[in-house]
Every structure is written in C-alpha cells, then in structure tokens.
Chain A
Amino acid sequence: MSSELDRKAYGVRIRRVLVAMDASPHSLAALDAATDMAARFRAELQGLFVQDLNLLRLAQLPFAQEVGQFSARERRIDSEEMERQLRMQSARVRRIFDGRTRHAHLRCSFQVARGVVHREVLSAASDADLLVLGRAGWSLLSPRRLGTTTRAILAQAPGLVLVLQRETCLGQPTVVIYDGSALSKKALEMAVELVDSPLPERSVRGGGKQKQESGVPISIFLLGSGGADTLQTLRREVEEWLAQRAPDLKVRFRALTDERVSRLADYIIREECGILMVPARSAILRDTALQGLIDKVEVPVLLVS
C-alpha cells in the first residue's frame, strides 16, 4: 500500500496558477489566494477575465434593456454600449490584477478572452496546474449557493481547483478529507506540499496579514463506509505514508463513520479550518453532498481531481 503513496505517483507540481476574475469581492479573494499560492510554489500567475458572450448577444437583441441594480431604471442597451462597458470592465479588472500583484515578485500575465465564461475558463485552465476562482460573481442570489458558472467549472475541472469565499484568505489548519481513494491521496500530498512551502520572506501581500500559526498544521478527516475497522486501516495507511514523507509533521485525525458524514460540514466548521482539501469525486461524498459542503463551509476549498 505504501508504495501507492509514492511521491512520484501522486506528486503535485504547481508551475502555473490561473485565476479567473471578475470585479466581485469573491474574485478579489481569489486573486489574493492565487498570488499566495503562486508565491509558495514559485509558480507563474496568470489572470483571466472573460467577456461574456451572452451579454454581447443580449445587446444585439432588438428589445434588449437592462434594469439598474440600484436605480431600478430601465435602460436601452446596444452593442456599442455593451462593448464599451465590457472594455472598461476588462481594464478595471486588469488594473486590480496589476495593482495587487505588483509587489509579489512573480511572473505574471493577464489575458482577456471572449466567450461563454465557463468554457473559456476551462480552456485556459487546461494549461494551468491550479485554477483559482471565486465562489460566485453575483451577490444578489443566496450566498449559500455556488454560482452557475462556478458550478459548471467545478463539474468539469480536470485538475486542482481552489474556490474562494469573499474576504477569506488561506490559513491553518489544512483539513483533508481522506477516504483512501487516489484523489484523496493526492489531496493529502497537496496538503503536505502546502505546509512544506511557506510563503517566502518577501511576502506576497502585507506580511502583517500572514498569521504565524501554531498548533497542528493538518487535520485529516477519515471517511469510511465500513465502520471502525476501515477507519483504523485508513489511519494506519496515512500514518505509514507520513512516516516516510514527512516524519516530523504533526497531524490530527478525525474519524467519521458513514452516518456522521452528513454532518461533515459542521465538524469542519468546528475545526476552525483554514483551507479544505477535498477529492472531487468520492464514493462516500456524492456530488450533491460535495456541493452542499462547499456551500456550507465558508473557507477556501481545494478540489482535487
């Protein structure tokens, strides 16, 4: 078993981080987290803003009108106006990107694409090792729900996707959901990798903000459907792997049997989790449960697939 947890097999190398942005607070948090991650792994940071094709189409409709979000006033919109607005929005997002990464000493680039948002993001993400994005672009709908675009991206994401909430930043401890699957092993590796890669001295953003955490850096939530024995096995498996990979690392185990999995989110919240690492597909955690989990915990979530 331990050979399966070999570093080579599941090792994660993050060379390029892609952050998908709009101008929402969620996406600002995403940008900060992306800068953070890029600095930790000395990776290249790429910013992406997608001009929504749907909006351009809307503008071409003969009866296209918009309702002011605050004024509630109806306005006629045409293509020219929409183009101009999107141009301005792109420029604004670029300015934000430039401003926040200026002092990060990273290789940075920013690109503007045009198309259906989730498709463009996914296509750009195919070149990246880590995709970072905000949970939702739009605050009018329930904050407890992922935005449609985010949902669509998560559903098809190929690699590592970090989803950020508004005004949260990466912290400790890292909570890993471990069910023994290959993806959960990758998640564990990623967690160790993260602990091993502290922020460089010349910190990315405001050194003062970086909390110097003490205590256990990683909490491992063991999920098994086979009762106490399975969980015991899972634990042993992890311990053995850790003994090789990071003998000095302190970890904490939380074992959850099947019937308690439904309350996973509560346990995670109680753990005062800094970042949550979850396998994107899990036999125990079905798709809906996973989305529910992301909806409920208000911490950054790294989906591993």
Chain B
Amino acid sequence: MEQTREIKQLQDGNKIVKPDAGTIRVKELSVDQLYTHTDPDAFSFETTADLEDLDRVIGQPRAVEALQFGVGIQAVGYNVFAMGPTGAGKRELVREFFEREASSRPVPHDWCYVNNFDESHKPKALRLPPGMGVQFREDMKDLVESLSTALSAAFESEEYQARRQSIASEFQEVQSKAFEAVQEQAQERGVALLRTPAGLAFAPQRDGEVMSPEEIGALSQEERDRLEKEVEELQGELQKIVRQVPGWQSDIQERLKELTQEMAQFAVAGLIDKLRAKYAEYPVIVEHLDAVQQDVVEHAENLMGGEQENPLQALMAAQGGGGAAGREEESPLLRRYQVNVLVDHSNAEGAPVVYEDNPTYQNLVGRVEHRAQLGALLTDFLLIKPGALQKANGGYLILDARKVLTQPYAWEGLKRVLQSDEIKIESIGQMLSMISTVSLEPEAVPLDVKVALFGEPMIYYMLYYLDPDFADLFKVEVDFAERIDRNPENTDLYARMIAGMTKRENLRPFDRTGVARVIEHAARMLGDAEKLSIQRRDIADVLREADYWAGQAGHPTVGAKDVDRAIQAGIYRSDRVRENTQESIKRQIKLIDTRGERVGQVNGLSVLQLGDFSFGQPSRITARTWLGKGSVVDIEREVEMGGPIHSKGVLILQGFLGERYAEDTPLALSASLVFEQSYAGVEGDSASSAELYALLSAIAEVPIKQSLAVTGSVNQHGMIQPIGGVNQKIEGFFDVCQEQGLTGEQGVLIPVSNVQHLMLRDDVREAVGRGEFHIYPVTTVDEGIELLTGVPAGEPGPEGKYPEGTINGQVEKRLTSLAEMSKKFSGNGASPREEEA
C-alpha cells in the first residue's frame, strides 16, 4: 500500500510527526478532488466511427511479450498458460496471436486411419499431404465398387466356372473310379458292396441278392473260407481308398483356392496398379495398397459370394436389415478397404487454431465409437473419431483450464498426450483398465501442437503447487493485468479499444462524451481515479447496454447520457438490498443518527458486495469502559462474528492505547466494542479507526458528532491507513444523510491516501459544492478525534503529560484515576505483571 512508504519515513525519523495543536487542522476536500474527469474535448475524434481499430492490446506488455515468446519457441513443454481475471480477454488475445502466427505456418498433414490387415484391432495411421486424405478415400471408394464388378466378372466367367467344375469333377472321378474298381473286383468274386447306415460292407451275393445265412450254411467249409477271405481282402482295399478320400478332398480345396486367388489376382491387379501408379510417391499408400491387394485376393470368394463375415450380420441382413448393418449398403468385408479421413486439411490455409469449447476426455483425444448390433457392440477403424488434439495437430489448441479440470480425466488425458508426444486414442475405461471389451488400439499419431490454457491465476498457482507435471508442460506463463494507468496516452488508446469493441459488436458509434463517460466508469469500476479497468467483459457490458438505451432514446450515436443511463439502470436492477437497508434506517429499525452528539458512539462505514454490485452503509459502533485489567473486549470476536482481520484491528487499538496512555502506569481499564445491530459477520479492519474514536470518546467521556461518519484502519502509532470501497462508503452515508435531511454539518472522514481513489457520484459532488456535505482527508487519529469532538487532541508536555482540556489529557486523567481505583481494590495482592496482561 502507498501508506507503507509514509510509515517507513516515520520510523526512519524515529519521532512522530504531530499536527499543530489547538485548531482543527484538517482541510476538507474541494469538489475537484472528488472526481477525476476525462475531458471529452481533449479527444481528436467526433465519434468512435472515426477511429481506427486498435491493432494491439493495451496495457498488457507483459502478457504480449510472454505470448510472443510462447508462440515463437518450439521446444517441448513450452505450452502457454494465460492467466488473469475472468473477462480480461485472455482467450481472444491468445487466439489472435495464434491466428497471426498460424497464417504464416504450413498447412499440416492429413491423417487417415486404414484397416490393418494383419491385426485388425490396431488400425494404421497414414500421414498424407493436405487434401490427399479425401482424395485417397474417394479413390478407395471407387476401387471397392470396381472390385465387386471385377470379381463378379471374373468368377462368373466361363473360364472360372469351367476350371472350377473340372477340378471338382476330377475329384469325383478319382473317387468314383477307386470305388468302382473295388466294386468291380467284388462283383467278379461274387461279392456285393453294400451301404450300411454307418458305412460300407461286403456280402457274398447270388442272383443280385445277398446270400442268406442258410445259403451260406449250405456251402462247403472250403467255399465259406474262400468267401470270408475274399471279403477280408476287399475290405482291406476299401479301407485304403476311404483313407485316401480326405487327402483328395483337401487337395481339391487347395487347388480351388489357388484357382480363385489366381483369378482374383488377375481381376484386381489392374485396378490396384492404377492407384499404385497414381500414389507412387507415397510409400505409405503403396504399402497399404499392397496389403489391400493381398487381402482381396485371399478373401476373394467371401467378397463375391455375399458370405457374411459375421453370422449376426448375416442374420440382420436376412431380416431385411434393421439396425446399422442394414443401412450399410456395402458388405462388411468391403468396409475393410475404406479409408477413414480423421483430419482433412483440404481447404485449409495455414496451421489450424482450434478452441475446444467442451474439453471432455473424448473431445480432446478422440474416441472409438461403437455400433449396437443385436445387443452386441461392434466397432472398426471407420468409427474412429478425432478429438481437438488431432484437429489442432500441426497448429494450436486453446482450452479453458477450468473446463479441462472439471471434466473427468480430461486433464490427465491432456497431460499424457503432452508427455508422450503422441496422440493415442483410448477410452477412459481402457485407460483405467476398467473394461476389457474388444476395442481398437489405433496407431498413435505424433504430436506437434502448441496448447494454450487460460484461466484465473488461482488455477495456475494451484496447478503449479499441486501437480508436479504442470511446470514441465506449461512453461510459458502469460500474466494478464487487470488495470492500466490513467494517463492521456492510455486514454486515447482506450478510446480506440472502445471503437474496436463497438465495431465488433455492431453497436452505434460512441461520441466523445460517451467515450469519456465510459473511461470515467472504468476508473470507478476499479475504485481508483488514477487507473483504468481493462476487464473487457465489464466494459463490453456497459457498451452494449448504453447502445441499447441510445436505441430506446432514438439517438444515432451513444453519448454520456446513454452511458449514465446504462450505469444507473444496471445499479437499479441490482440495488434492492441497498434500498431495503436505506429504508430500515429511515424507519428507525436500524438506528443511525446523523445529527446530535453522543459519548462512545460513532458512525462506521462498511461495504456490502452482492454479485458485481457493491454499496456502502453506515453502522453504529459503540464503546463502553469500566474498571478492569487492561483488555478491550471485542464483542464481535467473543461471539465469533468477527473475522481475523477485524480482530487484528481491535488488538492494534489495544496496543495503541497501552503505548500512548499507559506506558508507565497499569492500564486498569476494560472496554467493550460492538457493531450495533450487526447480525451477520464483520470482517476487515476498515472500522478500526472508528472503533478507536468510540473508545477514546468513552474513556474521555467527550461526545462525538453523529453528523460525521468514519472509515479507515489505524496502526499502533495512530496513523490512519487506506481502505477499499471508499466511494461506496461515502455515498452510502450521503444517502442516509440526504434521507434524514442535510444539515450542512454532515460529512465523512477518510484516510488521506484514499483521496486518489475518489470517483464520487454527481449528487454527492453537488452537495459538497453547496457546502452541505464534507469530506475530510485524515492522516492521524488526533486529526480525526478533533474533527469528531471539536476538542483539540492535545500534545504531550515536557514531562510527557497531556494538557488539560484536550482529549488526550482527558483520557490520561481517566486512566490514571482508574489505575488508582484498581490499586485500592486489589490491595497489595496483584502483581504488576498481571495488571499488564
């Protein structure tokens, strides 16, 4: 804080600078000091339509340099984290930078997935020059169509049919010749070859019929033996033949297969050769075409015969094709030869810049979809879908850090890709080894992408401390400022920024008064007359709303009035709670006095923040004192309604009291401090000066003017230190005074170092101008108490005693008498140490 400089000086000088004694030394602020105007006439333009767009970002030299560095450096891990408050325009700026850089970089390669004929669950990734992916896909589509026709023609040709039949009949011939030979042999020997239900058997026959047992019995023993022997021999012969049949069969299958492959080879070679010639320069394609050709030849018969690879699919097709299989016109086998163009850069200019709005794990690293078929989930390489990383590969990817972190596993997925330097598509289930259903393992694609995350600083620091990988992966920190200095140069730039925003949003041009008013508002938003907010979101809101009101009023351009209207309307929309508070003061439900005097009672000021709207309101702070052991009871703290900073402020008071008034006598006082009618918590130390005034008033028994309100924190030396929300606080008290009637006495004491923050409302300024309201910049507690009581604070005399008739003198006197009383009550029992405590 600015105040530290002053305190340091004080310490260096080793003595306290005291104001002149006697009179009221603080001079109230003049109207000019309450508001820093932007002079519309200082602008050289009439309306923003005259202004050129700003081609650079204002007020972000650090961020811009970091981005330039981040975009330029090509080393691993130099990804960008753009941090800054929400609405600072981080994404736009990063995008702008990336796009400018991307336009001069080469268009990256296309990526396609094709079937891997050796291991179909590991599709192959092909890297092709931009635009060639689609071309190759169309060529393969045509090829597949021609394949069917070519194969049909080949297999329906007379040549093929004739050769096939000849091979088949050759088998039949060999087989029947062998059996017929046995049969003939049998017949010659008077034996019949019969077919039993389970096999073949020989039986002696007579007249074409098998001999009955009686007939056999009638034969001589010799004859019977002969027959039996014949049958045995014939059986031996038959067995030999039967054993040969499987061999012949597999032989024939082999030859049929050879024939089919020979025909298929001939049919498809021409077609594929044509493509091979076309893509001769691309070895990956040629290699794939070789594999295709081999596969077509191997599966030629299936491709032709309409045999379904999968019985389920066959069933679906038979049922008239409900479901996915029915919609697909091509046979599932022909799908094998198609090309899945994952990333197509046909019409691209420069490298891609991708912003992924919904960075789920799958939207980042890509996914493998499934089709349900009769309850089973099937997939193939054609169902691989790209994620943002694939789309941005070779270029830039922009992501919202908060979204990435809130999506399950998205952060882990992103990190893994950046660490491994390749994009591997795995489902979350696979990544966690949770499911083991058959899925694909597509070949990984090498990564060449610059990632930019953007988010609030908190996210950056949390990631930095909690995730050890973060620092390795996002080495470029782009830190966005939220404010710029309010000087003439920046004011001009600001006007041009407004011009750019109005044009981008298609708003009416702002005239110079409108622009000036917006700039003033930008200062007020920060609560600092010397700085301007560059929160693009908030400014854009004001611009849009002002444009709306200009439209309502029929103004061709947006002027100061429209901007005012927009600001007022915005306040009105959100100030219901403020109105309730004001009303309860008016109806004396919340007790606030703005006239008269009271001992131990002062008007403190606090700020309430509701969403993006904040307002000030007075609170009555009271102090009571009694004989005790030197402790100040902070009632807020006792009931745990005071925050730690508030408690710290109260303890500082104690330090101040002890040092100033009880350096060498025991502080035999107890005091209690309370925010009256406060039912919620109190936090912050901005009321500590008010509490001190109430306490001094109570001890000295000197009344305080209720027409004044106080803000500012105090240190142990009695210096008043700056606080936040000074404008809102002043306006809050002003509203109450106005409601109860301005007497000309009323006003607010503010820390002197808050003067630079003043951007007060018109009505407050006007009242000050008329002398009906006063704003006093206060440096020390003594100045403040003089203003509040009208009694001099008093300087210590040569013996360190404060003179009579001053506040300090009164306080000292009261404390001394309390110490004596305390001594009287405790007799000689109490030790000094205890009293000090």
Contact = CB atoms under 8 A, between A and B. Distances in A.
B179 interface: yes
A140 B239 CA distance: 14
B199 A57 contact: no
Nearest to B239: A72
B193 to A, nearest CB: 9
B209 interface: yes
Given A61-B216, A63-B231, A86 B197 contact: yes
A82 B216 CA distance: 19
Given A58-B210, A67-B235, A70-B242, A77 B203 contact: no
A66 B200 contact: yes
Given A67-B242, A140-B176, A57 B211 contact: yes
Contacts of B246: 70
B175 A67 contact: no
Contact of A69 (B172, B212, B213, B242): B242
Contacts of A140: 175-176, 179
A246 interface: no
A117 B589 CA distance: 121
B619 to A, nearest CB: 92
B197 A85 contact: yes
B222 to A, nearest CB: 15
Given A70-B242, A74-B239, A60 B213 contact: yes
Contacts, number: 98
A186 B228 CA distance: 51
B243 interface: yes
Which of B172, B179, B197, B238 has most A Cβ within 10 Å? B197
Contact of B210 (A54, A68, A70, A75): A54
Contacts of B203: 54, 57-58, 61, 64
Nearest to B183: A141
A65 B231 CA distance: 9
A138 B195 contact: yes
B211 to A, nearest CB: 7
Given A77-B196, A77-B201, A142-B172, A72 B209 contact: no
B811 interface: no
Interface residues of B, number: 35
A142 B180 contact: yes
A85 B195 CA distance: 12
Q: How large is the interface on A (under 10, 10 to 19, 20 to 34, 35 or more residues)?
A: 20 to 34
Contact of B172 (A74, A77, A143): A143
A55 B196 contact: yes
A134 interface: no
B172 A67 contact: no
A272 B216 CA distance: 52
B324 interface: no
Interface in B201-229: 201, 203-204, 209-213, 216, 227-228
A128 to B, nearest CB: 25
Contacts of A71: 242
B692 interface: no
B173 interface: yes
A67 B192 contact: no
A75 B238 CA distance: 13
B385 to A, nearest CB: 40
A112 to B, nearest CB: 14
B17 interface: no
B201 A142 contact: no
A66 B196 contact: yes
Interface string B172-200: 11011001100100000000101111111
Contacts of B192: 54
Contacts of B194: 52, 54-55, 58
A88 interface: yes
Contact of B180 (A55, A72, A141): A141
B198 to A, nearest CB: 6
29 contacts: A53-B210, A54-B210, A55-B201, A57-B203, A57-B210, A58-B201, A61-B203, A61-B204, A62-B213, A63-B231, A65-B201, A65-B231, A66-B196, A66-B199, A66-B201, A67-B199, A69-B199, A69-B200, A69-B242, A71-B242, A72-B238, A75-B198, A77-B196, A140-B179, A141-B176, A141-B183, A142-B173, A142-B176, A143-B172
Interface of A: 52-55, 57-58, 60-72, 74-75, 77, 82, 85-86, 88-89, 116, 137-138, 140-143
Given A54-B209, A57-B213, 17 more contacts: A55-B194, A55-B196, A57-B210, A57-B212, A58-B196, A58-B203, A61-B204, A61-B216, A65-B201, A66-B198, A66-B199, A67-B200, A69-B200, A75-B198, A85-B196, A116-B209, A141-B180
